[in-house]
Amino acid sequence: MTITLQQLNASSDADFVHLLEGVYENSPWIAHRAATRRPFASVTALKMALQNVVLEASPAEQVGLLCAHPELAGKAAQSGMLTKASTGEQTQVGLLNCSAEMLDMIRQLNVSYREKFGFPFIIAVRGPDGNGMYRDSIIRAFQRRLKNQRDEELGECLYQVSRIAELRLNNLFDISPDMGNAVLAHALALAAWSDSPTGLTCAYLTEAHQQTARQLAAWMGEAGMQVTIDAVGNVVGRYLSDRPEAKTFITGSHYDTVCNGGKYDGRVGILLPIALVRYLNERQEKLPFHLEVIGFSEEEGVRFKSTFLGSSAVIGQFDSNLLDKTDADGISLGTAIKQAGHDVDAIGAIARDPDKIRGYLEVHIEQGPVLLKHNLPVGIVTSIAGSSRYIVELTGVASHAGTTPMTMRKDAAVAAAQIVLYVEQRCSQFPALVGTVGQLLVPDGSVNVIPDRCRFSLDIRAEQDAVRQKAVDDILEKIAEVCNRRSIEYTVTELMSTPATDCAAELMAQLIRSTERAGITPFTLPSGAGHDAMVMARMTDVAMLFIRCGNGGISHNPLETMTGDDAEVAAQIMLDFLRNLSP
């Protein structure tokens, strides 16, 4: 049975509850409370209203909602007592047709999980695109989430309940997130090209990187764009306005990845506009400005340790001195560009004329848990945090671990440990300040030798430059104090210092209006991660739209995930944004 939003809005409260029967497992109270919030302008608004009822419920009601769900392949499933919806979902992914060995494993997981948390394990088995998860993926998620703390897992289960309800509502209204699912399918296809056989690694101008660029170019062409790959490997698609003299609005993100990264970091900001342009082109709809979609070739700095190569060329600030930098195999950046068939002498011509640019919008997966915590599919970025990065090297004296008294040691590792703990302590003092020691190395260390050397990285970020700089100053002072007290020599090498970037008020205001029209309560947040938008802001006004990140907000990790429905919401918001943005 399918229904319409008009039918639902016009129904009595009792009929409203009846029409939504089964959307939330054995929990009609959710629909009953949502009925008072009518009328709903869109199905998205209905979804948000139902989810808000769950968020506003008491802790006991929330746990009761979880307990209303059956265990995976549990007694209810085996005895045929599941609801129709649950039966269909568990059948779709093969949970009702498991081997005896797998059933026994799932039973043991169910017992361990309920003993630890007091409610059943819940996962939307139809997955991010609604087409179903593999059983092995479900079991791995089960095992991984058993390690969570109770509050963390309660939040994850409530999110999964909302996802299950969302998929059931899609069925009820016979709607499909076509653009969003296209983004997911294309991201999965791109992930097949990797520098590593064991995960997704796509470094600048490797064979996998070049294959990714060719595929992006093909999809842009199929969507109706004029396509080029420029001298630094940026993939550029232009969807022309019917006004030749119009300015150009730019959108995009990067397609290179970190080592063993996720499928959506950067790439969603290219794939989503491609899907959107295909949508416009199929309807022969033009915009009052040219739309340029750029797949920036390099942002992560994995191969040559130089970030933002693609976007810096677009704004005319490519540093030609970087052409002599070499990778781990001794290949220079300039040589790599030539080997990929590009002309280094043409890099200068990539630069855009700022007077012909209307602005820049970057859609990106959040890479954090904030939107997940607030149960929102999208968020509007207010600013991008400034970042300071250093390499710190400590030098003490190596000596025998058994014969050197504790009071007479010059232990570089212990000094490093004190500094690392101070970084955590100092950067916990402000909500928008973070500090990370992501690399920590004791070169040539031995189990029976006091370390004479220690090398570690330092990454300090904050939304406000003054806050970041004060933290950096305090940490550098602490390094000096610890090392002087312990008779340790030290060097601090600055790798990068990037100021914070504010998003343009006008573009943010338009994103807020577009978000409201999509039936979503606008939510603003800063970005702790760096993005190509930071570079583009040197040339034009910029804005960013974040999409919710699943799996607890994990990113830069193969577990990075998002749903087709969330991508669809972002696509609809971006479409509204472009249609309503003044030329």
Asked if the structure places residue 436 within a domain, the reply is: yes
CATH number of the domain residue 424 falls in? 3.30.70.360
Same structural domain, 423 and 404 = yes
Name the helix (H) or strand (E) containing 223: helix 207-223
Same structural domain, 207 and 356 = yes
Contact 273, 262 (CB under 8 A): no
User: How far is Cα 337 from Cα 256, in angstroms, rounded to an integer?
Assistant: 15
Asked if the structure places residue 520 within a domain, the reply is: no
pLDDT for the residue numbered 83: 78
pLDDT for the residue numbered 78: 62
What range defines the domain where residue 112 resides? 5-173
Q: Torsion-angle region of residue 289: left (phi > 0), alpha (psi -120 to 50) or beta?
A: beta
Q: Which of 121, 143, 173 is the last residue of a domain?
A: 173
pLDDT for the residue numbered 100: 85
Same structural domain, 413 and 323 = no
pLDDT tens-digit series, residues 389-417: 999 999 999 999 999 999 999 999 999 99
pLDDT for the residue numbered 79: 61
Same structural domain, 151 and 256 = no
Same structural domain, 250 and 391 = no
Same structural domain, 215 and 342 = yes
pLDDT for the residue numbered 77: 60
Asked if the structure places residue 296 within a domain, the reply is: yes
Give average pLDDT by consecutive 10-residue segment, the chain, 583 residues: 93 97 95 96 96 96 95 69 76 80 90 96 95 91 95 96 97 96 98 96 98 98 98 98 96 97 97 98 97 97 93 97 96 98 97 98 96 96 95 98 96 98 96 93 96 97 95 98 98 93 97 96 94 97 98 94 98 98 89
Same structural domain, 312 and 342 = yes
pLDDT for the residue numbered 91: 79
pLDDT for the residue numbered 431: 85
Asked if the structure places residue 563 within a domain, the reply is: yes
Nearest Cα residue to 434 out of 423, 419, 444, 448: 423
User: How far is Cα 246 from Cα 238, in angstroms, rounded to an integer?
Assistant: 13
CATH number of the domain residue 296 falls in? 3.40.630.10
Q: Which of 121, 150, 173 is the last residue of a domain?
A: 173
CATH number of the domain residue 101 falls in? 1.10.3330.10
Asked if the structure places residue 25 within a domain, the reply is: yes
User: How many structural domains are present in the chain?
Assistant: 3
pLDDT tens-digit series, residues 335-360: 999 999 999 999 999 999 999 999 99
Same structural domain, 293 and 331 = yes
Same structural domain, 365 and 422 = no
Asked if the structure places residue 56 within a domain, the reply is: yes
Q: Which of 157, 173, 189 is the last residue of a domain?
A: 173
Asked if the structure places residue 9 within a domain, the reply is: yes
Burial class (CB in 10 A: 0-12, 13-18, 19+), 504: middle
Same structural domain, 409 and 368 = no
Reported pTM: 0.92
Same structural domain, 201 and 345 = yes
Asked if the structure places residue 521 within a domain, the reply is: no
pLDDT for the residue numbered 81: 66
Same structural domain, 58 and 200 = no
